[in-house]
Structure formats: C-alpha cells, structure tokens
Amino acid sequence: MEIQKLYDLDDIEFEDIAIGLVRLAKDIPAHEFFYKINHLNNLSFSRKKDLVFHGDYYDYFFPRFEAYHKFSKTCFTFISNKSSESKQKKVQTELFTEEENIKFLLNNQVDVEYILHSSEQFPDFSVILLPENLVFPIQDYTLSSEEELYQIIQYYE
C-alpha cells in the first residue's frame, strides 16, 4: 500500500509580496520621521525588535517600526533598508569577500530608506499620510519568493 503525499513542495506556489519603497527627501532621524507620521495619521508607530540578518562574518540589525491602522484593520511595518548596527562574528581572512559591516536589504535600491510592508495581501499604502517635503511618493515593489528579503519578511510576519 502506498502512502499518499499530502503536498509536494515543488507544487506549492508562493505568493509574491507587495511592498512599498520609501525614499526620504532629506536626512532626518527615525524618531522625528515617525513622530511626524504618527501626528499626521493618528497612528502609533513604535519600534519593535530589530530584524536580524545573519551573514557569514557579521550579524546585521535593521530597525523595525509597527502600527495598527484601526479603520482598515491592517498592521503596517516600516523596516530600515540600511543596517543600523552590525556585530562581527568572525574575522575575514579572505582577500575578496563581498560582506562588509554595512548591509542593505535591497542591494539594488540603496537610496531607499525604508521598506513598507503590510499584513494585507494587496496592501493600500495610500491610507498612510506622509509628511510633505520629507518623503517622495511610495514606490510599489513586488518581491518574488526567490528573493532573500521575501524569506526574511515571511519569518518576521
């Protein structure tokens, strides 16, 4: 008698994740940025436990801020694209390593300050009012399941 497989990992299709890319027009500290967002939106973004990325030579820490939007019943998360801290795990002995003490979650988008994620499958980032003259319009971006950031967001969700 054969045992029937309940599922095959090759047959599972992972849904893409829609995120927003937030670029700041001028450099301001995170606490000031979120104070202005909270004031404009009647939200309470607060800092949560940092997102941690484990590299070969460093552990990288990325600040995370979350708030719950009561009207839309949605949780919004801002994740810093640039690591705020790194802790060296072992000394680099190889001459040409690609790992440095600063890491970006989106290596091809180093001008992005924050990655905006929502608990919704099809997020509506327009419900968050952003401070004028401080932020460029949010750029929609789709993460596929093959991307490293996709796995990280799924883990912290």
Q: What is the pLDDT of residues 94-121, one digit of tens each?
A: 777 777 889 999 988 999 999 999 888 7
Buried/exposed 99-111: b ≥16 CB within 10 Å, e otherwise:
eeeebbbbeeeee
Return the beta strands (E) in the chain as ranges.
Answer: 17-22, 46-54, 58-69, 74-80, 85-88, 114-118, 139-143
CA distances from 85 to 21, 22, 53, 63, 80 (A): 21, 20, 11, 9, 11
Could you read off the pLDDT of 67-76 as tens digits, one per residue?
988 887 889 9
> 46-51: long-range contacts (C-beta < 8 A, 24 or more apart)?
48/77, 50/84, 50/85, 51/79, 51/152, 51/156
Q: How confident is the model at residue 157 (pLDDT cuts 50, 70, 90)?
A: low
CB atoms within 10 A of CB 65: 21
Amino acid 153: pLDDT: 77
CB atoms within 10 A of CB 76: 24
pLDDT surpassing 50 at residue 5? no
